[in-house]
Amino acid sequence: LPPPNSPRSEPGRRNAGSSLDFLMSESCAGGGGAAGDWLQGPYVYYLYSQYGFDKGDIGRLFIAGFGSSMLFGTIVGSLADKQGRKRACITYCITYILSCITKHSPQYRILMIGRVLGGIATSLLFSAFESWLVAEHNKRGFDPQWLSITFSKAIFLGNGLVAIVAGLFANLLADNLGFGPVAPFDAAACFLAIGMAIILSSWGENYGDASEGKDLMAQFKVAAKAIASDEKIALLGAIQSLFEGSMYTFVFLWTPALSPNEEDIPHGFIFATFMLSSMLGSSIASRLLARKMKVEGYMQIVFSISAFTLFLPVVTNFIVPPSEKGGSISFGGCVQLLGFCIFESCVGIFWPSIMKMRSQYIPEEARSTIMNFFRIPLNLFVCVVLYNVNAFPIAVMFGMCSIFLFIAAILQRRLMSVSDLHRSTKAAEMTAEDEPLNP
């Protein structure tokens, strides 16, 4: 007889069918939500520049998005637990659709409201969908191993394949078909509406533990105490903030860096190339982790390479002569683009690697609190940099990011030393305990 959970058994067939329906529903809704997010990425800066705003004005719009994400990111998780994860996912779709609609207005205040709405939506995207998936998976009694498979496929599809297709589709709408830079935002709203319809029609509601909604100050005190008492956690938080801060600054800078003289560049195609590079990096990380290579060791190299790639705009600014206004991408731009693709590959390696280190160093009972605590200096870092974006040339901004990444490499070296010392001390203590007492 087949085992109870075998697909050949009757209960197994019902469970497999239920699982397939569940995964199809989650994938379609999650894919629609992810497509709605990725479609906006390539043309945000370009759209604002087409409305006549300078680098400083655009920087403040980006600050509104990061600032609202920083403020609301610490509370949306508990709100979703209390009010319902399905309801939170629907709120994400509605909020992001409203944000897309604001892109039709050239008025700065309306665009600012859209950025605030986008920041709130981003916070919901990174909390509500995952929480709903885990709770629903457990409620239906699926095999726990399926959850990790679902996550890996979601990362591959949502952060990889969907992002690449979204970038190419955005380029098709805006450039090839001539609908203009606002067209990708209209397409994003359509995908968000489709995702919301799937959620409304096929998802069940689930809630979190009400006891998890602790006072924010109490959560921060717990996180601060853990960080202050363990150098490894403090180093990990600093490394994460330095790298992600540089990464989000890069998100703002890559468009003006590749078209400093209003060169005609294929924004969507370049964005898709970045996402393909990131997928390549994720594949490399999977192979490194499968071979059980020490994360603390190879991440020093990754941070050093990242620092070099973001220093390329500084080099090309002094060596390569400026291009003609309104032409195609310059030779210096091509060199920078190659460096940016390598940087995106480093980003692809970074995500699974930082998750691995967090699982090693952050205590389980305070994991979510400490991870939210890390996002506060990260968002503050990005807001400060973007607020002063008009005070420095783009090359100087990239130079600052390169320095931050080099510091991250140094801190990663320190983390490996502290970790090795901790392991050797612990091994020595265990050996001493196993030795028999001398007579």
Residue pair 247/347 in contact by the 8 Å Cβ criterion: yes
Per-domain boundaries in the chain: 1-208, 215-425
Distance of CA 35 to the CA centre of its chain: 14
Residue 7 CA, chain-centre distance (Å), reads: 36
The torsion angles phi and psi of 248, rounded to 5 degrees, stand at: -70, -30
* 200-230 pLDDT, tens digit each: 888 878 776 554 555 666 766 777 888 888 9
- Are 36 and 83 in contact by the 8 Å Cβ rule? The answer is no
* CA atoms of 103 and 126, how far apart (whole Å): 23
Residue-wise pLDDT for 55-104, tens only, equals: 899 999 999 998 888 787 667 766 776 778 788 889 989 999 999 999 99
Q: Tell me, yes or no, if the two domains 1-208 and 215-425 fold the same way.
A: yes
Query: CA 276, CA 424: separation in Å to the nearest integer?
Result: 40
pLDDT at position 14 over 70? no
CATH T-level topology, domain 1-208: Growth Hormone; Chain: A; (1.20.1250)
pLDDT digits (tens, 9 = 90+) for 270-280: 999 999 998 88
CA separation, residue 221 to residues 214, 225, 373 (Å): 11, 6, 10
Provide the CA 265 distance to its chain's centre, in angstroms.
25
Q: Which pLDDT belongs to residue 320? A: 78
| In contact, 18 and 25? CB cutoff 8 Å | no
Nearest to 41 by CA among 151, 153, 118, 106: 118
**Can you name the CATH fold of 215-425?**
Growth Hormone; Chain: A; (1.20.1250)
The pLDDT of residue 232 is above 50: yes
Show Cβ contacts of residue 27 under 8 Å, excluding neighbours closer than 6 positions.
153, 154, 157
Is this prediction's pTM over 0.85? no
